[in-house]
A and B are shown apart, each in its own frame.
Chain A
Amino acid sequence: MKHWHLFLAFFRVGILGYGGGPSSIPLVQKEAVGRYRWLNDEEFGDILALGNTLPGPIATKMAGYIGYRVAGVFGAVTATFATVLPTVCLMVVLLTVFTSFKDLTWVAGATKGVTPVVGVMLAMLAFDFFNKARTGGLGLRNTVILLLASFVALTVLRVHPGALIAGLLLLAIVQPDKEK
């Protein structure tokens, strides 16, 4: 049953994620946190952050780890296969059977329609993380400071996202614990 749910969840993620791995992030959150409650938002954030610091495709890393958490090694295999296999099969079949598919204008148009929707979902998720940081213990002032610092580091100083996250994680470890 666990495996069936894992398969269903990540099959939906794979088949609805237009625009590559990053566009499937809000869908993974919806399934794993919202529908099946395999994780809470905090754990999802950790996975996303670590996934961003490690190389390789993000969607399969998230699927594989969540599958592993839910049902061990076979869970990881189930979730990864469900994310990847349906669309790979589609790709192989379409490319070998008829190559004119991508020239069909309505197919190209349909895919373009999804782009703003993905933007909205990502923006909503971004706002969620902002809120979670604020209410989770950082407070409004520190959250805004970290937010602006991250923005400047990523855009003006062009620090690599992986390096920024790794640096923050390191700082959090080095910082001595406060006595309560």
Chain B
Amino acid sequence: MSQQSINAPRPGDDEENASDAVTGGQTFASAQGADDLLDEIDAVLEENAETFVRSFVQKGGE
């Protein structure tokens, strides 16, 4: 069986690393990261959340 390190994010995927270096503050960077994330997610949530949820009705499978 192959071994994988499960703690490392995929290299190159984490753009925050670059801004960490610039701002120099780990705490600041991660708080900033959470805010960025929530800003980005807001776009999904503000797009007719309730109507979208109601539209997702499908017969059961399995």
- Tell me if chain B binds chain A: no
Chain A residues within 8 Å of B, Cβ to Cβ: none
Please list the residues of chain B having a beta carbon within 8 angstroms of any beta carbon in chain A: none
